[in-house]
Amino acid sequence: MEIHIKTIPQENHRYETIGDYWYDTEGVLQVRVTEMPEIYAKMVIVHELIEEALTKHRGCTEQEIMDFDLYYESRRKQGLVDNISEPGFDNNAPYLKEHTLSTSVEMQMCALAGISWNDYDNFISRL
């Protein structure tokens, strides 16, 4: 197994997100997270790794997730979903359970790091 993790400027993501993952043509898992304070970036990285591992194990493909996220973002632009909502929490998201668990781990990491979840979540929401 090979994983390549990198922080990038927000505008360099494939679509509107702060964390993304996919397999490249050589089968290497690529993870990209928006540049932010290191502890925050590591929390997002852990989220992405958990979500990817569990969705892959269950057979939910990266393409299904990407398609849903792009559909969700198009609905956001039409004003059909809230500007601060996350596609992974939508009841129709093909990765709802995995996203929810990954977020709970982020919350636990915040607690152990002495970081307010509200402060972290507000920071992430502004990106």
What pLDDT was estimated at residue 16?
83
pLDDT higher than threshold 90 for residue 15:
no
Determine the structural domain holding residue 98 and report its residue range: 36-126
Whether residue 113 is contained in a domain is answered as yes
Q: What percent of the chain lies above the pLDDT cut of 90?
A: 90
What pLDDT was estimated at residue 83?
84
Q: Is the pTM of this model over 0.85?
A: yes
Instruction: For residue 119, give Cα distances in angstroms to 46, 72, 86, 122.
Output: 18, 25, 17, 5
Query: Domain tally for the chain?
Result: 1
- The vertex-15 CA angle with 86 and 122, nearest 5°, equals 40
User: How many CB atoms sit inside 10 A of residue 92's CB?
Assistant: 9
Whether residue 13 is contained in a domain is answered as no
More confident of the two residues 126 and 119: 119
Q: Using CA atoms, how far apart are residues 4 and 2, in angstroms rounded to an integer?
A: 7
What pLDDT was estimated at residue 84?
82
Locus of tokens 């972290």:
120
Whether residue 5 is contained in a domain is answered as no
Q: Using CA atoms, how far apart are residues 41 and 6, in angstroms rounded to an integer?
A: 10
Whether residue 121 is contained in a domain is answered as yes
Mean per-residue pLDDT of the chain: 95
Q: Which of 9-13, 34-38, 44-48, 83-87 has the lowest mean pLDDT?
A: 83-87
Whether residue 9 is contained in a domain is answered as no
- Asked if 15 contacts 39 with a C-beta cutoff of 8 angstroms, the reply is no
Whether residue 118 is contained in a domain is answered as yes
Q: Using CA atoms, how far apart are residues 107 and 68, in angstroms rounded to an integer?
A: 24
The DSSP bridge partners found for residue 33 are: 7, 19
